Amino acid sequence: MAKESNQKLKLLYLLKILFEESDEEHFLSTAYIIRRLGDYGVYAERKSVYSDIEYLELFGLDIISRKGKSAGYALASRTFETAQLKLLCDAVNASRFVTEKKSNELIGKIEGLTSRHNAKKLNRQLYMTDRVKSGNETIYYNVDTLHDAIFEKKKVAFKYFEYNLDKEKVLRNNGSEYVVSPYALTFSDENYYLVSHYEKHGNLTNFRVDKMQNIRILDEDIVDISNVTPQGFKLSSYTKRLFGMFAGNEVVVKLLCENSLVNALIDRFGRDILIRREDDEHFIATINVADSPTFFAWVFTFGSKMKIISPKSIADKFADAVRNVENIYK
């Protein structure tokens, strides 16, 4: 009975062997396949191996064969190419919101999507000096729960923390839960943020997902986003206006920039921003941004190469901020 049962599993074990041990550079001989099947308690003859491989090909698998001294079979195509898996591994390694432990777990699963030979190529260190990684092991489950709430259009409750000078977690809102209407998850400045409506603030509020704890999906329906945003509001363009996900009053700003900054503007706001030539060395960019200290910090990054020219109230506010910084160094 056991032998018969193992025979029924032969095709599955054959596929497992081809998937894990072969690729376009590593072919498995018929004798090796028979031996490996034997390791799984499956008896096989040469003719049955040939027949089973034909069945796998009929099923749609891309199995290639090679003749000669190094004759054998290999699974050529998979869902992901090795180059794609390398990109996925690098993205996981570079993501600061994923803890080191979770990064290793994820990369291990990604390695399982290819042969063990190609997996060795994926198991490489992406060198990033003193890379800061999140310490919140629940980030996976936070994201998953929030996605469910957004899909079901239900409010969520959670606790939110920050760090004190002793590097200890301190709950905000006096330890009470925040109750919000979740609308979207977005990725900005290497962190996940929840875009939501928090009644206390009135408009849209953004929360760092890795600083959220004890997330619960409530039975209460969300407040429709159209009720808390202006007419014509689009979530897709919302994050372009924010810096570090700090919300503020939306304002149309004109910037006088040296030509060398055109790529920096396009990288930040996209190719659809309004740009016009001012002279041979400068252009004027018109952008929609949230009036916030982080926007000023971004402008300051470019020093004398960028100048806020309108509205005057924003330009004056920026100048005051610069003077305040200068004063603390006097």
Identify any residues that bridge with 170 across adjacent strands, giving them in sequence order: 162
Q: In the predicted model, is pLDDT for residue 41 greater than 70?
A: yes
Residue 281 reports pLDDT greater than 60: yes
Is the predicted pLDDT of residue 136 greater than 70, yes or no?
no
Report H helices in 138-281: 139-152, 235-238, 262-269
Instruction: Write down the pTM of the prediction.
Output: 0.63
pLDDT-derived band at 289, boundaries 50, 70, 90:
confident
Q: Is the pLDDT of residue 258 over 70?
A: yes
Quick check: 131 and 164 in contact, CB under 8 A?
Answer: no
pLDDT of residue 183: 93
Least confident interval from 65-74, 106-115, 160-169, 282-291:
160-169
Whether the pLDDT of residue 189 is over 60: the answer is yes
> What residues contact 153, with CB distance under 8 A and at least 6 apart?
221, 222
What one-character-per-residue DSSP string does 225-248 give? Answer: GGGTS-TT--HHHHGGG-BTTB--
- The distance of Cα 90 from the centroid of its chain, to the nearest Å, equals 11
DSSP character string of 304-322: GGEEEEESHHHHHHHHHHH
Number of helices followed by number of strands (H, E) in the chain = 12, 12
Q: What is d(CA 156, CA 136) in angstroms, rounded to the nearest whole number?
A: 19
- Mean of the pLDDT values across residues 77-96? 83
| pLDDT score recorded for residue 60 | 92
At 149, which amino acid appears? Answer: A
When pLDDT is cut at 50, 70 and 90, the band that residue 244 belongs to is low
**pLDDT of 94 above 90:** no
Place of tokens 């980030």: 139
